A and B are shown apart, each in its own frame.
Chain A
Amino acid sequence: MVESLLTAESIGLTIRGNPILHNVNLRVAAGEIVALIGPNGAGKSTLVRVLLGLLRPDSGRVWSRPGLRIGYMPQRLALDNTLPLSVQRFVTLGTPAARARVQAVLAEVGAAHVLDSPVQAISGGELQRVILARALLREPDLLVLDEPIQGVDLNGQYELYDLIGGLRRTHGCGILMVSHELHLVMATTDHVLCLNRHVCCSGHPDHVARDPAYLDLFGIDGARRLAVYHHHHNHHHDLHGAVVPDFPRSSASAGEGGHRPPVEQDRG
């Protein structure tokens, strides 16, 4: 079995009387990409904050490999307009680094051109890449990405996911990422955890896509989109080093759909 980077055992958390997390188990192994998906309000970000040690759970425990270096990409970055901060300064706030090194990391995420721009002046997609660059500069063992494609247009989303998918190879790190929906993370992910306050289902993305609990949560429309979007990924398959015949399987996953007739599906 591959070495564990981070494990969480039976995490439970109640905030002001609302049960947010119930008996959640999770494990990220070295070099593995784990996606945490679920609808809004499912407790995804809360779970991430528990895993990062920012929030103490009421029950259960979080273990991380001793000396584990985490690169974190938070969901939202609202920088006050009054703070004059260049991208270079922002990237090096957590880890001091020479300009050439910053330039190299920014180039890796495709944002080298904004090195000297004010953080407030770059686009949403550029900002996400810059935040990712700051996480990579730490040479992390584990990357934790909370909704990494927020504010990014559709084409940019696929680029960003491919970029993230390649990081495990180039940096040898494990990745835990939060996403709204499965179809976007399909191609790059090893293991999916579908969260709705508890773990509804988990496993390989194809397996989760067929799981009735997943279809219940997202509705049949979500499952259909899965098939449509999956085709976009065909020209990126070589990024993982091997040609994987992806779509016959994925269109089948939507076609074979759930174990119940589609008409009876509720939207989650």
Chain B
Amino acid sequence: MDDFLARALLGGVGVALAAGPLGAFIVWRRMAYFGDTLAHSGLLGIVLGTVLNLNLQLGVAITCLVVALVLVLLQRQRRLATDTLLGILAHTTLSLGLVALAFLETVRVDLTAYLFGDILAIGPIDLYWIWGGALLALGALAGLWRPLLAITVHEELAQVEGVPVFPVRLAFMLLVAIVIAVAMKVVGILLITSLLIIPAAAARRFARSPEGMALLASGLGCAAVGLGLWASLRWDTPAGPSVVLAAAFLFVLSSVIPGRSWR
């Protein structure tokens, strides 16, 4: 196997492993649009990272986190529904990123790579970032698992039982921001949500426990990465979208496979 292909596979698998359990929570908590909004702000993070001469992934993670905090603050006023706020934030930050990019005359940025991913260009240093971020996110999620599951089932009940709801929710947002930052290289900011929610959705029918669904989502995500890369080579299609299509294919397959689901 060529080096670049091995790196692509390794990077994709790293992202898929972390995206599975986190995506399961995004599905359970009905936060798909939230993930999408954070991802949209990723481009702004790229620009900030470039201007401030930061690592780009760090720039994206910080920007995502700030957007998440802004959302939490905006939710305190109750005039506008959350999905409206998300829509405003998503497209404002994406446009802000595009406009800010235009001011960076000295920097040439391959916009397509950031919007749709450039998995075949993953370098050795990218791999460190991806695996470092993914392992960090998985480890933190394991520690957070029980309280996070409790507030996902019923927030106020969990609070009465002693779960520190706000810190747990904040920590979860931070993890989503980290995973988005590391997944950007693989599928791009416009497609990240799909890697979070499609494997989790495909896993639902076969899972009998939250942990089972999370693990299965990771597995299906890895399979989608492998399948997508293979298809991309075979038919010379763009790699990021091919991975997403592979995930969608697995989802359709999981829906039509005969057999009884649990529930």
Q: Report the minimal beta-carbon distance from A164 to chain B, rounded to whole angstroms.
A: 18
User: Is there an interface contact between A54 and B153, defined as CB atoms closer than 8 Å?
Assistant: no
CA–CA, A134 to B208, complex, Å?
20
Knowing A82-B201, A84-B208, A118-B262, the reply to whether A138 touches B154 (Cβ < 8 A) is: no
CA–CA, A144 to B150, complex, Å?
19
The answer to whether the Cβ of B28 comes within 8 Å of any Cβ in the partner chain is yes
User: Is there an interface contact between A54 and B212, defined as CB atoms closer than 8 Å?
Assistant: no
Which of B65-73, B158-166, B176-184 faces chain A? B158-166
Give the interface SS of chain A, mostly helix, strand, loop or mixed.
loop
User: Is there an interface contact between A84 and B262, defined as CB atoms closer than 8 Å?
Assistant: yes
The answer to whether the Cβ of B49 comes within 8 Å of any Cβ in the partner chain is no
- Chain A window 78-97, contacts with chain B (Cβ cutoff 8 Å), 1 for yes, 0 for no: 01111111100110011100
Residue in A74, A84, A86, A120 whose CB lies within 8 Å of B157: A74
Knowing A72-B161, A89-B210, the reply to whether A83 touches B156 (Cβ < 8 A) is: no
User: Is there an interface contact between B263 and A49, defined as CB atoms closer than 8 Å?
Assistant: no
The answer to whether the Cβ of B152 comes within 8 Å of any Cβ in the partner chain is yes
User: Is there an interface contact between B209 and A74, defined as CB atoms closer than 8 Å?
Assistant: no
The answer to whether the Cβ of A77 comes within 8 Å of any Cβ in the partner chain is yes
Residues of B within 8 A of A84 (CB): 204, 207-210, 212-213, 262-263
CA–CA, A93 to B30, complex, Å?
20
Q: Report the minimal beta-carbon distance from B172 to chain A, rounded to whole angstroms.
A: 15
User: Is there an interface contact between B209 and A54, defined as CB atoms closer than 8 Å?
Assistant: no
CA–CA, A86 to B263, complex, Å?
10
Residues of B within 8 A of A120 (CB): 263
Bin chain A's interface residue count: 20 to 34
Which residues of B2-40 have CB atoms within 8 Å of chain A's CB atoms?
A: 27-30
User: Is there an interface contact between B154 and A95, defined as CB atoms closer than 8 Å?
Assistant: no
User: Is there an interface contact between B160 and A93, defined as CB atoms closer than 8 Å?
Assistant: no
Which residues of B130-180 have CB atoms within 8 Å of chain A's CB atoms?
A: 146, 149-150, 152-154, 156-162
The answer to whether the Cβ of A228 comes within 8 Å of any Cβ in the partner chain is no
Knowing A86-B208, A93-B150, A94-B150, the reply to whether A81 touches B158 (Cβ < 8 A) is: no
The answer to whether the Cβ of A42 comes within 8 Å of any Cβ in the partner chain is no
Residues of A within 8 A of B149 (CB): 93
CA–CA, A72 to B160, complex, Å?
7
The answer to whether the Cβ of A121 comes within 8 Å of any Cβ in the partner chain is yes
User: Is there an interface contact between B153 and A93, defined as CB atoms closer than 8 Å?
Assistant: yes
Knowing A82-B204, A85-B153, A118-B263, the reply to whether A94 touches B158 (Cβ < 8 A) is: yes
Which residues of A10-28 have CB atoms within 8 Å of chain B's CB atoms?
A: 16
Q: 29 A-B Cβ contacts within 8 A? A: A54-B159, A70-B160, A72-B156, A72-B157, A72-B161, A74-B154, A74-B157, A77-B153, A77-B154, A79-B153, A82-B200, A84-B207, A84-B208, A84-B213, A85-B153, A85-B210, A86-B209, A89-B209, A90-B153, A93-B149, A93-B150, A94-B157, A94-B161, A94-B162, A118-B262, A118-B263, A121-B263, A134-B157, A138-B161
Query: Told that A80-B28, A85-B153, A93-B153 touch, could you supply 10 new A-B pairs with CB distance under 8 A?
Result: A74-B154, A74-B157, A77-B153, A77-B154, A80-B30, A84-B213, A84-B262, A85-B210, A94-B157, A95-B161
B-to-A contact residues, CB < 8 Å: 27-30, 78, 146, 149-150, 152-154, 156-162, 200-201, 204, 207-210, 212-213, 262-263
A-to-B contact residues, CB < 8 Å: 16, 49, 52-54, 70, 72, 74, 77, 79-86, 89-90, 93-95, 118, 120-121, 134, 138, 144
